[in-house]
């Protein structure tokens, strides 16, 4: 079987994590959550890792949760693995760089709110389809998205579920810069390399200062979001991670 998460080392202390289900647009399963959480925890504990680069194989970054897999997996199995992944993202001390091409939908979008720098290809587009799915925002997006793009823009994105193209994502602060699709991988490695040159200790200190207070706010949001998703699920809607 092909590994659903590839873990590679790049020069200078860069750990590259590649979502590797291109035939399913890198959608997540319970096992995918577990593997990515473990990889992030391992990177956090490794003193040689200065920067983590997250990318997706194929034509998409990630289409979110695999709804077909979700149909065959109890939510009581999905939820703790999703929570563990969010904890690993929140706790990661090193900078997280994301390189995004094609669709980034649901958790494929909200995971990016936990990245420190997001680079997007010119074909990237984002969508938070939670309202259409009958569930609540997740991954602390109810707090992190307004903090990044502002309250009204966040409401526009979440409550309408519309697509946000690459150029707009940069304009509103959801991403740092847009590059041609063919240059995305090189650009991601270049940015990670520029960071890594500074050394782990100063990068960890810098990230901690830039994100002071965000971990607590995110953890509180996760509790509220989970409560809302469970309530909606009890009413017959699709609660849980998307």
Question: What is residue 31's predicted lDDT score, i.e. its pLDDT?
Answer: 93
CA 78 to chain centre: 17
Distance CA 184, CA 57 (A): 12
Distance CA 53, CA 15 (A): 6
Question: What is residue 79's predicted lDDT score, i.e. its pLDDT?
Answer: 87
Long-range contacts of residues 192-198, Cβ cutoff 8 Å, at least 24 apart: 192/10, 192/12, 192/14, 192/51, 192/53, 192/95, 192/97, 193/10, 193/11, 193/12, 193/14, 193/51, 195/50, 195/51, 195/95, 195/97, 195/117, 196/12, 196/13, 196/14, 196/50, 196/51, 197/12, 198/50
Question: What is residue 1's predicted lDDT score, i.e. its pLDDT?
Answer: 54
Residue 111, in any domain of the structure: yes
Question: What is residue 238's predicted lDDT score, i.e. its pLDDT?
Answer: 45
Residue 242, in any domain of the structure: no
Picking from 159, 155, 145, 142, the residue whose alpha carbon sits closest to that of residue 226 is 142
Domain that residue 217 falls in: 5-182+199-234
CATH number of the domain to which 84 belongs: 3.90.226.10
What is the pTM for the complete model shown?
Answer: 0.95
Structural domain count, the chain: 1
Residue 240, in any domain of the structure: no
Question: What is residue 239's predicted lDDT score, i.e. its pLDDT?
Answer: 44
User: 3-state DSSP call for residue 163?
Assistant: coil
Residue 193, in any domain of the structure: no
Question: What is residue 10's predicted lDDT score, i.e. its pLDDT?
Answer: 97
Question: What is residue 241's predicted lDDT score, i.e. its pLDDT?
Answer: 56
User: 3-state DSSP call for residue 23?
Assistant: helix
Residue 239, in any domain of the structure: no
Question: What is residue 242's predicted lDDT score, i.e. its pLDDT?
Answer: 58
Residue 191, in any domain of the structure: no
Residue 190, in any domain of the structure: no
Question: What is residue 72's predicted lDDT score, i.e. its pLDDT?
Answer: 74
CB 203, CB 93: distance < 8 Å: no
Distance CA 206, CA 148 (A): 18
CB 53, CB 100: distance < 8 Å: no
Residue 125, beta-bridge partner list? 103, 165
Question: What is residue 236's predicted lDDT score, i.e. its pLDDT?
Answer: 44
Residue 192, in any domain of the structure: no
User: Would you write out the chain's pLDDT as a tens digit for each of its 242 residues?
Assistant: 579 999 999 999 999 999 999 999 999 999 999 999 999 999 999 999 999 999 999 999 999 999 887 777 777 788 899 999 999 999 999 999 999 999 999 999 999 999 999 999 999 999 999 999 999 999 999 999 999 999 999 999 999 999 999 999 999 999 999 999 999 999 999 999 999 999 999 999 999 999 999 999 999 999 999 999 999 986 544 445 55
Distance CA 84, CA 202 (A): 27
């Amino acid at each position: 079987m092909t590994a659903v998460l590839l873990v590679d080392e790049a020069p200078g202390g860069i750990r590259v994590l590649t979502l590797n289900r291109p035939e399913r647009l890198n959608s997540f399963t319970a096992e995918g959550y577990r593997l990515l959480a473990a990889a992030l925890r391992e990177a956090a504990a490794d003193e040689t890792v200065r920067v983590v680069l997250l990318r997706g194989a194929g034509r998409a970054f990630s289409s979110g949760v695999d709804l077909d897999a979700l149909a065959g997996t109890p939510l009581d199995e999905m939820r703790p693995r999703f929570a563990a992944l969010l904890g690993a993202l929140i706790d990661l001390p090193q900078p997280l760089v994301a390189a995004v091409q094609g669709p980034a939908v649901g958790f494929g979008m909200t995971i990016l709110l936990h990245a420190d720098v997001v680079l997007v290809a010119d074909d990237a587009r984002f969508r938070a389809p939670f309202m259409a799915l009958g569930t609540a925002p997740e991954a602390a997006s109810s707090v992190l998205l307004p903090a990044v793009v502002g309250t009204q823009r966040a409401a526009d994105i979440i409550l309408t579920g519309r697509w946000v193209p690459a150029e707009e994502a940069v304009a509103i602060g959801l991403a740092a810069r847009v590059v041609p699709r063919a240059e995305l991988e090189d650009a991601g490695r270049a940015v990670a390399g520029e960071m890594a040159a500074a050394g782990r200790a100063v990068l960890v200190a810098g990230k901690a200062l830039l994100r002071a207070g965000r971990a607590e706010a995110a953890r509180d949001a996760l509790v509220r979001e989970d409560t809302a998703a469970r309530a909606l699920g009890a009413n017959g809607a699709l609660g849980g991670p998307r």
